[in-house]
Amino acid sequence: MEFKKRILCIGAGYVGGPTMAVIALKCPEYRIDVVDINQDRINAWNSDDLPIFEPGLFEIVKERRGKNLFFSTDTEENITKADIIFVSVNTPTKTFGEGAGMASDLQYWEATAHQIVKHAQSDKIIVEKSTLPVRTAEAMERILKMHSGNIKFEVVSNPEFLAEGTAISDLLEADRVLIGAHDTEEGNRASQEIADIYRHWLPEEKIITTNLWSSELSKLIANAFLAQRISSINSISALCEKTDADISEIAHAIGSDSRIGSKFLQTSVGFGGSCFKKDILNLVYISKSYGLYEVADYWESVVTMNEYQKSRFVRKIIKEMFNTVAGKKITLFGFAFKANTGDTRESPAIDITKSLLDENVRVTIHDPEAIENAKIDLKGIEKNITYETDPYRAAANSNAIIITTEWEQFKDLDYSKIYDSMEKPAFIFDGRNILDHRKLFSIGFNVYPIGKQQLTHFS
Ligand SMILES: NC(=O)c1ccc[n+]([C@@H]2O[C@H](COP(=O)([O-])OP(=O)(O)OC[C@H]3O[C@@H](n4cnc5c(N)ncnc54)[C@H](O)[C@@H]3O)[C@@H](O)[C@H]2O)c1
């Protein structure tokens, strides 16, 4: 079949895979190639066992794969043939040198820019899909200018706003698509060409076009604002535990104010995921680099509060279990950083597990999708860890259960059966406030929610 346009996506991860699958679904006249340096990942994309779990993704990939959606490691040939190249590689926090622990590590992103320079033989639109520091396009353009031929590259920013666990519906029913480009004739043309992709399924008013720098910075700011709401409600959860106020009642009361809104007011053991912490620290780093120290301090406190929430939770577990947890068995229900994903990057469960291991706890981990990633995260320190795919076996003989991920199925377990199989006194620490605490208490558990009154059988 003759395709109208060829789109290449470099980076077949949590963003590249689902985004391109949806574009392939909605734009059957475009050929979409997704490439990655990781052969295993590509093999998985070409199998029935996709490398990432995302509701609805498999059905779309199965429908379009081999028709107009192709996964391979053939970056060079695809660069040559593509009209539009999305760059969706990872941009983690730098772990070395200048800006270590804060700035973005742009080595993967820069490598793709050099590959494009090396293999391009015709004009192309380069789309920044990865989350990047503001003014990164400038550096990208500098590299692309190194091309020896008379080829024009137009760099456009099109950050991704999907959330893992709801990626497919976020893409299909996006609140908005953001496209940033230079305000020049070529820039506007490129911006419209990218908008044309999304017009296949989104109405015009959902497509926001801005200048390049606003688009790059908007993505960081969106994540900073979302994380800030979580840290704000989590800070109040600590105050609730001291005052007998109830965090759910507060969230409802304040969220009913249309100026505040009800979303992202769910307290928890802390946010995780590959983006929030990294993007805020990047924002902090950028602010500092412009000498804006007060701005940097303000946003850094969002991350500080998140660390506090995690360590506060572990301190509470130890204290409530009579300050002696050594040798006890504690079971984590959930290891993914949120429900409906197997992704464990920056999951609070990692820090909680490590803190418990430091206390010589025997830790059992149960998660419907994240056990393989948990094993990778905890490699080298697994001596006192067991992994269990069955929640009942995981809980048996434990002294405590910790809810670390808000998986729906954890609500429907038979907690009487679980209680009977546990050591007594039996504890539940609900780090997501998803369980029926009164019911658990009546079964016999000592129940510790977040930001709510604890229910215990101790006098
Ligand atoms: N995960 C999310 O929820 C999310 C949401 C919005 C934006 N983002 C941003 O999107 C970007 C990608 O995130 P992700 O979660 O998909 O990362 P990821 O680690 O899952 O995927 C990135 C992929 O890029 C590949 N890669 C690296 N260098 C390459 C190269 N030179 N050629 C080919 N492939 C290469 C890696 O092997 C990896 O498979 C990041 O900048 C992230 O901040 C992520």
Q: Which two tokens stand for residue 33?
A: 């190639």
Q: How far is CA 73 from CA 43, 50, 131, in A?
A: 9, 16, 22
Mutational pocket test of ligand 1: of 129, 274, 278, the residue with most ligand atoms within 8 Å of the beta carbon: 274
Identify the three-state secondary structure at position 26: helix
Ligand 1 neighbourhood includes 162 CB (under 6 angstroms): yes
Report, as residue numbers or ranges, the catalytic residues. Answer: 275
Q: Given this model, what pLDDT does residue 321 score?
A: 98
Q: Given this model, what pLDDT does residue 1 score?
A: 74
Ligand 1 neighbourhood includes 353 CB (under 6 angstroms): no
Sign of CA dihedral 160, 165, 169, 175: negative
- Mention every residue, 6+ apart, whose C-beta is less than 8 A from residue 177: 158, 195, 198, 202, 206, 207, 208
Beta bridge partners of 87: 10, 128
**Ligand 1 centroid from CA 294, angstroms:** 31
**d(C-alpha 428, C-alpha 440), whole Å:** 8
Ligand 1 neighbourhood includes 128 CB (under 6 angstroms): no
Q: Which atom of ligand 1 is nearest to the CA of 111?
A: 31
Q: Given this model, what pLDDT does residue 279 score?
A: 97
Ligand 1 neighbourhood includes 15 CB (under 6 angstroms): yes
Ligand 1 neighbourhood includes 91 CB (under 6 angstroms): yes
**pLDDT lower than 50: segments of the chain:** none
**Ligand 1 centroid from CA 16, angstroms:** 7
- Give me the helices (H) in 321-447, please: 348-358, 371-377, 391-395, 415-421, 437-443
What are the tens digits of pLDDT across the range 264-311?
999 999 999 999 999 999 999 999 999 999 999 999 999 999 999 999
Q: Identify residue 357 by its one-letter amino acid code.
A: L
Ligand 1 neighbourhood includes 108 CB (under 6 angstroms): yes
- Domain chopping of the chain, boundaries: 5-202, 211-459
Number of H helices, E strands in the chain: 17, 14
**Ligand 1 centroid from CA 14, angstroms:** 7
- Give me the helices (H) in 381-423, please: 391-395, 415-421
Q: Given this model, what pLDDT does residue 373 score?
A: 98
Ligand 1 neighbourhood includes 16 CB (under 6 angstroms): yes
Q: Which residue bears the tokens 């980076």?
A: 11
Superfamily name and number for 211-459 = NAD(P)-binding Rossmann-like Domain (3.40.50.720)
**d(C-alpha 312, C-alpha 129), whole Å:** 36
Give DSSP secondary structure letters for 346-378: T-HHHHHHHHHHHTT-EEEEE-SS-HHHHHHHT
Return left, alpha or beta for 270; rule: phi > 0 is left, psi -120 to 50 is alpha, else beta.
left
What are residue 134's phi and psi, to 5 degrees?
-60, 140
Mutational pocket test of ligand 1: of 8, 9, 10, 15, the residue with most ligand atoms within 8 Å of the beta carbon: 15
**Ligand 1 centroid from CA 41, angstroms:** 12
b (16+ CB within 10 A) / e for 183-207 = eeeebeebbebbbebbbebbeeeeb
Ligand 1 neighbourhood includes 112 CB (under 6 angstroms): yes
Q: What is the DSSP letter of 65?
A: B
**d(C-alpha 133, C-alpha 105), whole Å:** 10
What are the tens digits of pLDDT across the range 363-396?
999 999 999 999 999 999 999 999 999 999 999 9
Q: Which two tokens stand for residue 335?
A: 């290891």
Query: Smallest Cα–Cα separation from 50: which of 334, 338, 333, 343?
Result: 343
Sign of CA dihedral 142, 143, 145, 151: negative
Q: Given this model, what pLDDT does residue 41 score?
A: 98
Are 5-202 and 211-459 the same fold in CATH? yes
Query: Smallest Cα–Cα separation from 284: which of 133, 158, 180?
Result: 133
- Mention every residue, 6+ apart, whose C-beta is less than 8 A from residue 348: 268, 269, 270, 271, 272, 310, 313, 337, 404, 431
Mutational pocket test of ligand 1: of 14, 77, 277, 376, the residue with most ligand atoms within 8 Å of the beta carbon: 14
Domain 5-202 has CATH 3.40.50.720: yes
What are the tens digits of pLDDT across the range 398-437?
999 999 999 999 999 999 999 999 999 999 999 999 999 9
Name the closest-CA residue to atom 1, ligand 1: 14
Q: Number of C-alpha atoms within 13 angstroms, CB side, residue 391?
A: 21
Q: Which atom of ligand 1 is nearest to the CA of 15?
A: 16
Ligand 1 neighbourhood includes 36 CB (under 6 angstroms): yes
Name the closest-CA residue to atom 13, ligand 1: 90
Name the closest-CA residue to atom 36, ligand 1: 11
b (16+ CB within 10 A) / e for 109-144 = beebbebbbeebeeebbbbbbbbbbbebbebbbebb
**Ligand 1 centroid from CA 95, angstroms:** 17
**Ligand 1 centroid from CA 192, angstroms:** 25
Query: Smallest Cα–Cα separation from 420: which of 454, 436, 442, 444?
Result: 444
Q: Given this model, what pLDDT does residue 305 score?
A: 98
Ligand 1 neighbourhood includes 157 CB (under 6 angstroms): no
